[in-house]
Structure 1
């Protein structure tokens, strides 16, 4: 497993890079496994591949505050990220992990790894719903995945020192909720996990048994995706 610790200058580039990492792995002649860590400086709303923009996001408030709203290539519902929210993405190979072709097994594998890394610091961290990490029943990590022929990317958020008021300000009540949420609004459902950023990073790196750092990333493919998709308003507003 390689580590790419890289935050690009714009939100469009950061979302495009995750997709480009998956596409690059698909084109490789041997299995690729990589952990990427990044953290945006400014608030950002990211909607799922199949999300209905105006159903999940208060678009007018985002526009008034100058907050970008972008659509990612993976599924799941909308999230708010920014400073105080560590983002991770892990590219995994089906050749090395054939059991991950079953989605339930994939969720258990990735969430189990991350949960095990965090309970060393906060024993109450739990895995609930399909792919949420929680603390005392309140969510601090939302996750999603995208599967291709030979690889998948699993990525998500880890709230550790985030302005939680942004979530209920920028997002509407989600159209689908896990049972454990019990219809709670964002204000009483999300929380930060009390783990310092450096410790959070270190534990994730250890959990994925990173063997080496890399500075190499698919620059041309990222730029192409930014130009064709992530700066294209039709991609964001297509549903």
Structure 2
């Protein structure tokens, strides 16, 4: 598997890059990829069907200059920023039979993620809800997927050294909650994973056997630019709900 540790200059470009890589894997122009990135400023990213009015404290975000974007995968609204590591695995279905089924693919991928981020001398990392990784029933990783006929983009957050109070300030309680949340407010529901960026990346690369650096000239830059225009920088797409 190739690995790519790259943060693009704009948030919309980062979101478009994930989708462009999925398209390239789907059409067999690229093989499986592990991507790591981290956004240096607070920003809100909604899922494809997320609601700004319901999920986001928009007035507060606007007063603080917080960017709001929408991705093309499902899942809930997330707050990015310093200390929130982002990862993507873009996988062809030929890699494993489990990837063809949504539920089985989440479990197959997240079992590997749990193995990668399991802290030493700590309780086990668990898979809770459909797509969350937790320690002692507190969430530190949310995940979502976008799927094509021949492959899947699975991407998620890893809170490692994040200011958790910012979540309560900028996000409302979500429209839909997993049962295990039990109506807990953000401050009681989320936590950081006690690990450094370097430790997490090394473990991810080991578990995914991501040994080959992804060549930057293989990135489909033209498609990234097209997707930004078609979707990720389009106010109608961002504000559609």
Q: Say whether the fold is shared (TM-score over 0.5).
A: yes
Distance 1:120 1:166 in 2: 24
Partner of 1:195: 195
> What does 1:96-175 align with in structure 2 at a 5 Å threshold?
96-121=95-120, 123-124=122-123, 125-175=125-175
SS in 2 for 1:203: helix
TM-aligned CA deviation for residue 122 of structure 1: 5.7
Partner of 1:34: 33
The CA deviation string for residues 82-141 of structure 1, in whole angstroms up to 9 with x for no partner, is 110110000111122222111111011111001011225363222211111111111110
- TM-score relative to the length of structure 1: 0.96
Residue 119 of structure 2 contacts residue 195 of structure 2 at CA under 8 Å; is this kept in 1?
Answer: no
Q: 1:25 aligned to 2:21?
A: no
Q: How many residues align?
A: 238
> What does 1:228-239 align with in structure 2 at a 5 Å threshold?
228-239=230-241
Residue 16 of structure 2 contacts residue 232 of structure 2 at CA under 8 Å; is this kept in 1?
Answer: yes
Partner of 1:220: 222
Distance 2:221 2:45 in 1: 22
Which runs of no fewer than 5 residues in structure 2 stay unpaired?
A: none
Distance 1:121 1:209 in 2: 21
Residue 88 of structure 1 contacts residue 155 of structure 1 at CA under 8 Å; is this kept in 2?
Answer: yes
Partner of 2:14: 14
Q: 1:88 aligned to 2:90?
A: no
Residue 139 of structure 1 contacts residue 190 of structure 1 at CA under 8 Å; is this kept in 2?
Answer: yes
SS in 2 for 1:110: helix
Partner of 2:57: 58
The CA deviation string for residues 137-174 of structure 1, in whole angstroms up to 9 with x for no partner, is 11110000011010100000000001111111111111
Distance 2:163 2:58 in 1: 19
Distance 1:113 1:127 in 2: 11
Distance 2:204 2:120 in 1: 12
Residue 47 of structure 2 contacts residue 73 of structure 2 at CA under 8 Å; is this kept in 1?
Answer: yes
Residue 121 of structure 1 contacts residue 195 of structure 1 at CA under 8 Å; is this kept in 2?
Answer: no
Residue 81 of structure 2 contacts residue 162 of structure 2 at CA under 8 Å; is this kept in 1?
Answer: yes
